[in-house]
Structure 1
Amino acid sequence: MSVQQPIKIAILAMGGEGGGVLADWIVDLGEHQGWHAQTTSVPGVAQRTGATIYYVELLPPAPQPTTRQPVLALMPMPGDVDVVLCSELMEAGRAVQRGLVTPQRTTLITSTHRVYAIAEKAAMGDGRVNDEVLVQHAREAAQKLVSFDMARTAEESGSVISAVLFGALCGVGALPFSRADFEATIERGGVGVKPSLKAFGRGCQAALGQDAPAAEPAATVPTPAPQTAAVAALLQRVEREHRPACQHVVREGVRRLIDYQDTAYAALYLDRLAALVRQAGADEDTLVRETARHLALWMSYEDTIRVADLKTRDSRFQRVQGEVRAKADQQLHINEFMHPRIEEVCETLPAALGRWLARPHALHRLVARFTREGRVIRTSSLRGFALLWLLSRWRVARRSTLRYVQENQRIEHWVQRVQALAASHPALALEVARLQRLVKGYGDTHARGLRNYQTLLGVLDRHGATLAPAQLARLRDAALADEHGKALQAALQQQALHA
């Protein structure tokens, strides 16, 4: 006597992506065709550190009438899943890692867009997982792979990604139900039926290998505002002073620093690069280009003024409103969680006053006590917005602040080191330029990166031009490997480069 086997489906989705709705649709679809259906879910730790796993089993009706009820499993087991649906590419990688995807039986349906994991965002360097590697592993692990950018399809359809996944499930033919049965399931839901059916249709077409309907034409991009004479002069200077291979990066650096401060600050950026160009050889485009990129990043360091500026820009409010899909008649509140330390307060003040406040005395202890706890500032309120907007306007006096004085000294010292090596040791000069990657962010992140940067400068001071460029590159990569500097200390010991 043959035993009927259920169709086993695992859904990996993050919060807000409709994984529960998708599971309910599949159950409803099966039950309306007379099948036995069951769904369970295991929630993740958080929306990005672990997705919720929804598990569905569908068992066809018994060929002969019976009073016995089937016993269905409560969770997916490695090597025993027929269909895996993932709302994001990293979740597909996790499904493969867990053994839920096997080449003997599993159809894997996944979106190729990325929502970066906490570990990827927190990395000192570029902690992103290679998307192509994830896709390749998924292709090798699955019997059949269906993958495309479902987030974009959902956005263009005005729906959510669960509807696109449901359409792809229909198109791939993993379930013995017709497209009309799938669509009737969405209609029975009664919520957002029209956009859900549109997203479903596009997902189904993509899974069938057909071209998805073209997206509606994008809104016309407004013509950029005319350049001022000062800006035009800076861009002309870029063309005059730099070779074509470097002009794009330098031009973007100029635009970034005008946005960050003003045209005079961008002119200082070009002055610093001009000194390097005079020292570098005619074929050292890579050195000039990399220095230009890292110099622009360092000169636009993140201080409290910059943070306040970015949080009060109209583009930020528009982006948040778009992300949460807020309608015109809905009220949106934005809470900013901020935790400035006493060091950030001192650095925002004029240099002399900041140094005085940084010394241990009664006022220092009072301010430190006030900044010990974090603050929640609602930028969607008049009071919260005005507070950060006024702080952002302090950029007119940024050059007088303690942070500017400190960063300017560090930048000048770094630029001079690159210039000194450019003519005689360009490869080593390039690695010194890339050391700027260590100095980023603000607060504790900036302090840790700066400490590692200074450690490597100390190595350079002790060994000078005898230090191999590859050695310095390995030490930099070690410094980027962890925020506490343990990998860097191990690399220094291994290479016998300790002081």
Structure 2
Amino acid sequence: MNPTQPIKIAILAMGGEGGGVLADWIVDLGEHNGYIAQTTSVPGVAQRTGATIYYVELYPEARANADGGRPVLALMPLPGDVDVVLASELMEAGRAVQRGLVTQDRTTLVASTHRVYSIAEKSAMGDGRVDSTQLVEHARKAAKHFIRFDMAQAAEQSGSVISAVLFGALAGAGVLPFSRAQFEATVERGGVGVKPSLKAFGGAFERVQSGSEQDAPPTPLPARAAPAPRHPQVRALVERVQRDFPASSQAILLEGVRRLIDYQDTAYAGTFLDRMREIHALRVDDGGRLAQNTARHLALWMSYEDTARVAALKTRTTRFDRVRDEAGVQSGQVMAINEYMHPRLQEICETLPGALGRWLTNSGAPRRLVERFTRKGRVVQTSSIHGFLLLRGVAAAARWRRSTTRFAEENQLIEHWLERIAQTAAINPALALEVAECQRLVKGYSDTHERGLRNYGLVMGAAQRAGSAMAPATLRELRDAALADEHGHKLRDMLARYALA
């Protein structure tokens, strides 16, 4: 660091991760040890669409007195002019690199390698996740020194928060002119959660000091034991998979059976195996890729998200436990979960038994009355008795799911998709695999499902018109274009380019 310049530290953290506490600790550390300190912050939007940037500058008070004045400290970090960057999550480290805050000749980057996916990643039509390996590699090349490990896990193991782990890693890096004792005294002066914070601090400090500041390679998962269910019908399904299907496909088939029993019942899971038996009978010599990919996508499609499914997932004990853990709810605290719901008439009709749903769709006054009450969304508190029972009532509609118009429509699409896979596999197995992958376009519910289904229709229509003349790579490009743009503009442009519109 330049002795005539302030020490410049940028902190990128999401809401609730203690970025402000970390910045205050660094300021307190400097002020109690002969430095003039200043901190500023620029909050992001809606917590995860943009993280808060905290910026700290430290300047030696003795040098300021020798110069006969007070230093003028900056309010925001400048690209290429930051000594230390602390990132509470891997994507935030990537953002710091992208902004130019991390430079190879100067910057020490301290970052957690865990991921909290951004809204853009989670809302993508396809797999919108940014590759963590690429993020790590870009950050490694950009920084002078890159300290990284899963700090969220370290915080959880110590019963503390990630800011204490970051503070310990910063101390262990040795880039600031302060001792471990001075760092720890800062935590003690805070007076809140001192014991777990010091435990988290010490673990991170020792990890960095020992040179193990990178994540250990993942331990291979042990082989799963064969399931041995007690329920006779479930056991029969497991035995059927083990008897009638090759070993390479059994794991994905058993997962499909488990999912579809959870979604509907054992008979529905049996239908899944009936369909997969026909796919396996195609005898395609591709190492089982077509059968395994079809099994995965078929299980997903057969467990499509309707209102009954969504209501069932929102009222599960595991969901309440997960929200409680993520929010850090302590014993004795009250947790409230509010759901924003805006069911459309179509979704209500699709949930009702087929005859009743068709009658309501085509009715006059009853339809207008329902539309009037569904024009605006409403908030349902799942954690209240009334809200919980309301959603459990909606979830109970799964018992007549097979009679609904939605079920009939989805099954017709599934049967047509499976037929296309079988027909294509006889001519071009590689193209059949791409047809199987097209199920990725059909997902979600409400508007998301409608847009995906529209794009699926366009892609499959183009494949049908082109027939065996279509190259597998072309169908893959069409599918990727549909996943890249939910409104279908890129897909239509590509269809026109290939004269398939």
The count of residues paired between Structure 1 and Structure 2 equals 487
Counterpart of 2:221 in structure 1 is: none
Quick check: 1:84 aligned with 2:90? Answer: no
Match of 1:54 in 2: 54
Deviation at 1:328, TM superposition (A): 2.1
What is residue 295 of structure 1 aligned with on the other side? 298
Q: Does 1:172 align with 2:173?
A: yes
Equivalence for 1:102: 103
Change in CA separation of 1:251 and 1:92 when aligned onto 2, cut-off 3 Å = same
Question: Which position in structure 1 is the counterpart of 2:414?
Answer: 411
1:16 paired with 2:24, answer no
Instruction: Give the 3 Å change call, closer, same or farther, for CA 421–241 of structure 1 in structure 2.
Output: farther
Amino acid at match of 2:364: H
Does 28-37 or 460-469 show the bigger shift?
460-469
CA deviation after TM superposition for structure 1 residue 284, in Å: 5.2
Q: Does 1:335 align with 2:338?
A: yes
C-alpha deviation, 1:480, in angstroms:
0.5
Is the 2:113–2:150 Cα contact (8 Å) retained in structure 1?
A: yes
Cα pair 2:427 2:468 within 8 Å, conserved: no
- Which amino acid letter does the alignment assign opposite residue 429 of structure 1? A
Question: Is 485-494 or 275-284 further displaced after alignment?
Answer: 275-284
| Match status 1:254 vs 2:218 | no
Q: Which ranges of structure 1 fall in alignment gaps of 5 or more residues?
A: 213-223
Aligned mate of 2:384, from 370, 381, 384: 381
8 A contact 1:304–1:348 mirrored in 2? yes
SS in 1 for 2:304: coil
- Give yes or no for the alignment of 1:181 onto 2:182: yes
- The answer to whether the Cα contact below 8 Å between 1:36 and 1:60 also exists between their aligned partners in 2 is yes
**Amino acid in structure 2 at the alignment position of 1:57:** E
Distance 1:3 1:429, change over 3 A: closer
Q: CA deviation at 1:210?
A: 4.9
Shift of residue 275, structure 1, vs aligned partner:
1.4
What is the correspondence of 1:436-447 to structure 2 with a 5 Å cutoff?
A: 436-447=439-450
Where in structure 2 are the equivalents of 1:221-232 lying within 5 Å? 226-232=229-235
Instruction: Give the partner amino acid of 1:41.
Output: S
Letter in 2 for 1:415: L
State the one-letter code of the partner of 2:32. H
* 1:314 counterpart (299, 314, 317): 317
Secondary structure (helix, strand or coil) at the match of 2:61 reads coil
Q: SS state of the match for residue 17, structure 1?
A: coil
Contact 2:229 2:235 in 1 (8 A): no
**2:8 corresponds to which letter in structure 1?**
K
* 2:245 paired with 1:242: yes
Q: Per-residue CA shift, 1:286-317, capped at 9, x if unaligned?
A: 11111000000000000001001011111111
CA RMSD of aligned residues (A): 1.7
In 2: Cα distance, 1:225 partner to 1:37 partner:
63
1:268 corresponds to: 271
Contact between 2:169 and 2:201, CA under 8 Å: does it hold in 1? yes
The letter of the residue matching 1:33 is N
Partner of 1:201: 202
Measured after TM superposition, the shift of residue 419 of structure 1 is 1.8
1:414-493 residue pairs with structure 2 within 5 A? 414-493=417-496
| SS state at 1:328 partner | coil
Aligned-partner SS, 2:375: coil
Shift of 1:366: 2.0
Specify whether residues 148 and 409 from structure 1 end up closer, same or farther in structure 2 by C-alpha distance, changes over 3 A only.
Answer: same
TM-score by length of 1: 0.95
Preserved CA contact (<8 Å) 2:308 2:397: yes
Confirm or deny: 8 A CA contact 1:280 1:422 kept in the other structure: no
Question: Superposed, which structure 2 residues align to 1:107-186 within 5 Å?
Answer: 107-186=108-187
Alignment check: 8 A CA contact 1:335 1:376 kept? yes
The 10-residue stretch of structure 1 (476-485 or 451-460) with the greater mean CA deviation from structure 2: 451-460
Q: Look up the equivalent residue of 1:227 and give its one-letter code.
A: R
Q: How far apart are residue 238 of structure 1 and its match?
A: 0.9
Q: Secondary structure at the match of 1:279?
A: coil
Q: Report the equivalent of 2:76.
A: 75
Residue 375 of structure 2 is aligned to residue 372 of structure 1: yes
CA displacement at 1:166 relative to structure 2? 0.4
TM-superposed deviation, 1:66: 6.1
Deviations 1:228-258 (A, max 9, x none): 1111111111122211111111111111101
Query: TM-score, with normalisation over the residues of structure 2?
Result: 0.94
> In structure 2, what residue type is equivalent to 1:40?
T
Aligned partner of 2:59: which letter?
Answer: L
| CA pair 364-167 structure 1, distance change in 2 beyond 3 A | same
Partner of 1:31: 31
Distance 1:280 1:392 in 2: 40
Aligned-pair distance for 1:225? 8.6
Q: Which residue of 2 aligns with 1:192?
A: 193
1:323 matched residue in structure 2: 326
Question: Hey, what's the Cα distance between the residues in 1 that align with 2:472 and 2:420?
Answer: 14
Give CA-to-partner distance per residue, 1:189-239, whole Å, 9 cap, x none.
000001100111111122223559xxxxxxxxxxx9943111111111112
Contact 1:280–1:423 at 8 Å: present in 2 too?
no
Contact 2:34 2:62 in 1 (8 A): no
Among 378, 400, 403, the alignment partner of 2:403 is 400
Per-residue CA shift, 1:79-128, capped at 9, x if unaligned?
11000000011111111111111111100000011111111111100111
Cα distance 1:209–1:359, how it changes in 2: closer, same or farther (>3 A)? Answer: farther
Q: Distance in 2 between matches of 1:67 and 1:189?
A: 32
User: Which sits farther off after the overlay, 336-345 or 50-59?
Assistant: 336-345
**Correspondent of 2:359 among 356, 368, 377:** 356
Return 5+ residue gaps in structure 2 as ranges.
Answer: 214-226
Alpha-carbon contact 2:85-2:102 (below 8 Å) kept: yes
Following superposition, the deviation at residue 460 of structure 1 comes to: 2.2
The percent identity for this pair of structures is: 64
Q: What is the CA deviation profile of residues 121-165 of structure 1, one whole-angstrom value per residue up to 9, with x for unaligned ones?
A: 111001110101111110111111001110111111111110000
1:3 & 1:470 partners in 2: Cα distance?
A: 58
**Partner of residue 218, structure 2:** none
> How many Å separate the matches in 1 of 2:77 and 2:266?
60
